Amino acid sequence: MSRETYVTESLGDIYERVKTARVLMVGAGGIGCELLKNLVLIGFGEVHLVDLDTIDLSNLNRQFLFGRENIKKSKALVAKDTASKFNPNVNLVAYHANIKDPRFSVAWFQSFDLVFNALDNLDARRYVNRMCLTAEVPLIESGTTGFNGQVQVIVKGKTECYDCNPKEVPKTFPVCTIRTTPSQAIHCIVWAKSYLFSTIFGIDEDESPDLDNSVNADNALEIENLRRENAELQRINDAFGTSEFCRLVFEKVFKIDIDRLLSMEDAWKHRRAPVPILYDELQKIEDAGINKAASKVAADDQPVWSLAENFVVFKDSVEKLSARLVEMRKTAPEGSPRPALSFDKDDDDTLDFVVAAANLRSHVFGIELKSKFEIKQMAGNIIPAIATTNAIIAGVCVLQSFKLLNDDQAHAKAVFLSRRPERIFSTESLQPPNPECAVCSVARCGIEVDVDKLTIGDFVEQVLRDKLGYSDEVSIVTDKLLYDVEFDDNADKTFKELDVGDGTFITIIDEDEPQGSTPRVNLEFLVYAKELTGDGQATYKLTHIPQIPRRPAPKPSEVGAEEVATGEGKSAAKKRKTEDDELVEVNPTDAKKPKVETVDEDVIVLEDDETIEIEE
């Protein structure tokens, strides 16, 4: 019996399309492993797999294509080697690379019949979404969070794209909350990981992505205090590697700094004041032999450690990490950057340090202590991933792909998986594109550019004004503002000087509002960097003249009733909104950026290889 017998009986005529399909899969994590297994066993003709990540110990409980012997190896390459044994008839091509590499061009995307997304971050998801829209290739987007999951089918011009609905952005924590008024365990964990650990053993705290160090009127004093305390810790580092180092660090952060906070009496009128911890008192408990050895305490990650146990683990981890860093410095080549340690949730010493330091600080501020297991989840940004959820969502992805390969988009669905006992699956019909979406509701055009010669000023004059009929009221953006009528500093700079090269997307924003009409929709150029010849001094060539429709007129419901009644203009309404909602004035250039929802201050974003959207 052929291995294709049952698949052929199940799929019927669709199987012929499956056997010849050329598909791309981006991501080889939790969903990716399950999805690749499905694609290979079903017999998709050619599967290309892209993933930049390497295998960690924490992946092995659900990413079954990997084993302990594969730790630190490429996910994509190992997944290919493992899955190829399931079905030698499938052509597997793996890339240990970033999907945003220039070699993965629009033309390369266009070579696929279908793209599957199994990614772990918002930026990469948005990039693949954009590339598939430009290449006009169907995309199946997927993600899981614990027991929840979802699958979204995206077809250019026919369905919502990934960016049609706002996505929450990762959470950063105001430095004043972390350093002065922590109220949750996560605040203490971020302090231990992104401030204390980084200052003692790693990078400068200012470079940490978890802390918002931007200075404003409200936090300028706190930022200055932070920098002073940081400098004091750096001076303590002069004792690095000595027997006194651990005591100096402990007394600095759990006694001296806390006494300094207590001196700000007004801050504690309406909240519980912190209580310093004394090193000598905890040392007496250890000397009396009441405590277990640090290794025994750290080995048990389920219970919440006592204050004395956290003290023992703190001392032990500081000694181990100090010894490790001293050895790294001794063996570092002369002239090389100063060695530093980085936090890794799978490194017992770095994890033990963060657990103990976070719990000691929680004790100081009267916050509930957490177990090592719980802190590992939060410090490592992990939502507990469920292998079964990944398997179910991967299966749904393949079922949706059959409909697309069979040109049966009408029966494709957005599928949601939840833990609700009354209905585990829920589906909804695919929605049309959001006409306000800044990604899919745009006009598109390719442009071949001699990036060494074409300047932004020439581009505006020759392409936008002469060829496409734009007025002066236009802005040009990539991931930053390149030009608008009030910002022409870059007019004489070439594309190359502005880092606009092959594969760059340039968005043209029309800000001209003719009487009785609306501005045009955004125009998105995809740059093809080429050295142009043949037309004398030609520096560019359009792939076609794009049709650029006007934006839809605002609906009557979008006009504020109060504005209609009073006759007040937009400026008054805008001012009123600023006062009511406590919004701050934004820079005009910031207003041109796509809007995304922000996360409530107390919401924590914890990500894993399969995370899409995470709530508190």
Other Cβ atoms closer than 10 A to 153: 22
Token pair, residue 471, equals 């007025």
Contacts of 207 (CB under 8 A, 6+ apart): 198
Per the residue annotation, which of 33, 132, 176, 188 is the catalytic one? 176
Residues with Cβ < 8 Å from 168, sequence gap 6 or more? 596, 597, 598, 599, 603, 605, 613, 614
Closest CA to 195 of 215, 209, 216: 209
Q: Catalytic: 164? A: no
Would you state the structure tokens that stand for residue 362, as one six-digit string? Answer: 């929680």
Measured in residues, the chain has a length of 616
- CA angle in degrees (0–180, nearest 5) for 393-399-404: 125
Phi/psi zone of residue 110: left (φ > 0), alpha (ψ -120 to 50 degrees), beta? alpha
CB 140 within 8 A of CB 152: yes
Q: What is the CA radius of gyration of the chain?
A: 28
Residues contacting 606, CB < 8 A, separation 6+: 377, 378, 381, 382, 383, 614
Which two structure tokens, joined as six digits, stand for 542? Answer: 């359009």
SS (H, E, C) 253-267: HHHHHHHHHHCCHHH
Name the CA dihedral angle for 94, 98, 100, 101, rounded to a multiple of 10 degrees.
-80
| CA distances to 320, 410, 425, 499 from 505, in Å | 48, 31, 37, 11
The structure tokens listed for 529 are 């960097």
Quickly count: other Cβ atoms within 10 Å of residue 546's Cβ: 16
Could you give the dihedral angle defined by the CA atoms of residues 319, 325, 327 and 333, in that order, rounded to the nearest 10 degrees?
-170
Sheet of strand 413-417: strand arrangement: 91-95, 46-50, 22-26, 114-117, 139-145, 148-154, 413-417, 425-429
Q: Which residues, in sequence order, are CB contacts of 278 under 8 Å at separation 6+? A: 255
* H-assigned helices in 91-182: 106-109, 122-135, 175-179
Q: Which residues participate in catalysis according to the annotation?
A: 176
